[in-house]
Structure 1
């Protein structure tokens, strides 16, 4: 199984690039599924073929679908939504606008992405291409499993035991408020477990790669850098950067000459910024990109010298090594300034904050009971040094 997730700033043409990749893989002999998890679906327009919430065959060995986020939300969140609706009614907040409050921001996109696991484990396909929502939404939903796993392991068991004790008397005391039932709690636990299974798939660099689509423009490049930093911080394997809509040499005369120079300048900046990742290049076409013939041309341009299905780059972003005075945990954090970093430790949890992004890292057994003795940021790597085990932890082990 091969999974390739496409993301990028809105408007860069990631849907066209994702569709072109799917066409290329199908031509190479892979049974390929392309799926859109973006609420603003445009795959149907790209292929010029009507698509639905179940796979529709587009051509030989190629199927496509646009995930129905409302249906997936009902499937995964229905029991919780029903209880929350009752809670709103009890609080006399049951006007039509409260329906919008029953699904948290990003959840619909996450439920859509969970369809990926179902198709990846079905055995029906050799490759799955995912056309994700624009960068901001994608990054937010990809971080949910980490956050919910922590809550499920650390907080949920205590909440569940407390509710079991309180539930019999709560309805009487509160005048009719129904606390969440076992069905609701089981639904939440099941959801988190399914997300953990999904995350195992998308964090496996041998199976899943993320590819970032950019245009040679200042703001797009800045957004791509932020996305790449977050993907590294969260353990996702980014294996290529694809520059889309580059003005070809023959277009760089007259009115377009200044734009051609700008594109060349930013192409060079992209190569310098994302090295050693492979940089693929797609020229701006002379007509609109939709339909199989044009998508085939895009795929041939992007993957002229490489296998579209290959893992084009795989590098370590986290490594532990032993030194004579302790251990060093090394985290790769590209495009981060030293003053953006904040580090804290609480028992077996390490919190790394890089600008607006935060991640909780559960320390491996090797580092348990060891306090941070120092940290250094150099050459886009955060080196965290752990000293000897604390006396309390050694005594506990004895």
Structure 2
């Protein structure tokens, strides 16, 4: 699987421009690059050697998918007296952009002959909700259909003979199986060690708040951060007091960020770049060509403290989190964790399923959830 770099950040930070500069820098370095975007990042200019542009057309993909769904369910629709929609009647619905992006991401990341896939993602919050979709939807499918699926399989032949048409259960479960397979493939790309996020921000107080929340969301979903592109940096040695003040504020922002994530500096061009030639200063910025690899991970880990303290500890990295924005609930064999606007439901590791939650503490950016073995479920020492 090629290296995949997901470009996102606060709105208006220049994500598309940085995505184009990233792809051009890697192509000039000799890598075979695919640049995936819903826009035209090169502004109509032809792509140079080594770079292939892949467009996301959510409207066309939605019409194609709905037409295919109608064809598969034609017998059921006819049985209900319905009439299929014509191609000219189908208009894109909210949410189609997310699914179109995910399908395109899977397609590009599994295509042969590519070394790097650069993805121009939506703004940070929307990008996070999109990347979390495959795992969330697969959980919904597994919860809603498992028991009924077995019964439906046994009844399908009888029901089909009685009615003479494929039954709704058969159509539903076959569709669910296809969805689960497609979602699993996308989830594999998102969670691959070769996939990481390149953040883009224009240094300043607003960006600081957005990035703090975004980094929490990335950590919650265990998404790797490759680096941060600090975009539109002004000269530090300017004689203009106003520019010098901005430069000082940007420097303070970077000093704080560099302790948490590698930073790539991109100078302010004084205008919006237009085409590959205008992008050249950004392309040549030190670090714009991303180093191979998936960036720094934020994987959750289980600490064994049974011998010393009689507990197991699930350590969840949550950089710069605050206690007042955390919510933690144990429900059966799952843990429900909310951090600010983000929520994640994860299955407990097998050892922790046989324990009870005995407490939790947030210390130095790590949430540690304590689990005490349940004597009724834990193997007794002999």
Q: TM-score range by the shorter chain?
A: 0.7 to 0.9
3-state SS, counterpart of residue 12 of structure 2: coil
Q: Are residue 351 (structure 1) and residue 336 (structure 2) matched?
A: yes
Q: Residue 278 of structure 1: CA displacement?
A: 0.5
Residues of 1 paired with 2:172 and 2:69: CA distance?
5
Q: Deviations over 1:140-178 (max 9, x none)?
A: 111111211211222122454677879969xx9xxxxx9
> 2:276 is matched with which residue: 292, 303, 307?
292
- Regions of 4+ moved over 6 Å: 81-87, 162-169
1-side partners of 2:238 and 2:192: how far apart?
Answer: 41
Count of residues paired in the alignment: 366
| Residue pair 1:79, 1:187 contacting (<8 A) in 2 also | no
Q: Give the secondary structure class of the aligned counterpart of 1:391.
A: coil
Cα distance in 2 for residues equivalent to 1:190 and 1:111: 16
2:315 corresponding residue in structure 1: 330
2:98 to 106, 109, 116: 109
CA contact (8 A) 1:218 1:266 kept: no
Is the CA contact (8 Å cut-off) linking 2:224 and 2:294 kept in structure 1? no
- The residue number in structure 2 matching 1:12 is 13
SS in 2 for 1:122: coil
User: Which residue number in structure 1 is paired with residue 144 of structure 2?
Assistant: 155
Instruction: Give the drift of 1:267.
Output: 3.5
Give 1:180 deviation, angstroms.
4.5
Q: Secondary structure at the match of 1:186?
A: helix
CA distance in 2, matches of 1:394, 1:154: 29
Which secondary structure state, in structure 1, belongs to the residue aligned with residue 274 of structure 2? coil
Picking from 328, 353, 367, the partner of 1:382 is 367
Aligned in 2, Cα 1:382/1:327: closer, same or farther, shift over 3 Å? same
**Which residue in the other structure is 1:49 paired with?**
45
The 8 Å contact of residues 240 and 277 in structure 1, kept in 2 or not, is answered as yes
Partner of 1:208: 195
Of 135, 159, 163, 2:124 maps to: 135
The offset of 1:201, in angstroms, is: 2.0
> CA RMSD of the aligned region, Å?
3.4
Residues of 2 paired with 1:32 and 1:147: CA distance? 30
Report if the CA contact (8 A) 1:18-1:129 is conserved. yes
Q: How far is the alpha carbon of 1:227 from its aligned partner?
A: 1.3
- 2:159/2:167 contact within 8 Å kept: no
What do the CA deviations read for 1:68-118 (whole angstroms, capped 9, x no partner)?
Answer: 11233345454557879969x989xx9xxx966x84x43422222222222
Change (3 A) 1:347 1:31: same
Q: 1:53: which partner in 2?
A: none
Q: Do structure 1's residue 194 and structure 2's residue 182 form an aligned pair?
A: yes
Structure 2 portions without partners, runs of 5+:
none
Partners of 2:345 and 2:66 lie apart in 1 by 25
Report the equivalent of 1:264: 248
SS at match of 1:236: coil
- Native 8 Å contact 2:234 2:246 kept in 1: no
Q: Residues 308 and 3 of structure 1: is their aligned pair in 2 closer, same or farther, counting only changes over 3 Å?
A: same
Change (3 A) 1:128 1:232: same
- The Cα shift of 1:43 comes to 1.9
Separation (CA, whole Å) in 2 of partners of 1:81 and 1:134: 33
Q: What is the CA–CA distance in structure 2 between the aligned matches of 1:193 and 1:393, rounded to whole Å?
A: 35
Report the CA distance shift for 1:334/1:90 in structure 2 as closer, same or farther (over 3 A): farther
Contact kept, 8 Å, 2:361 with 2:369, in 1: the verdict is: yes
Of residues 300, 325, 350, the one that matches 1:318 is: 300
Report the secondary structure of 1:224's partner residue. helix
Counterpart among 34, 40, 51 of residue 62 in structure 1? 51
Q: Is the 8 A contact 1:210 1:237 kept in 2?
A: yes
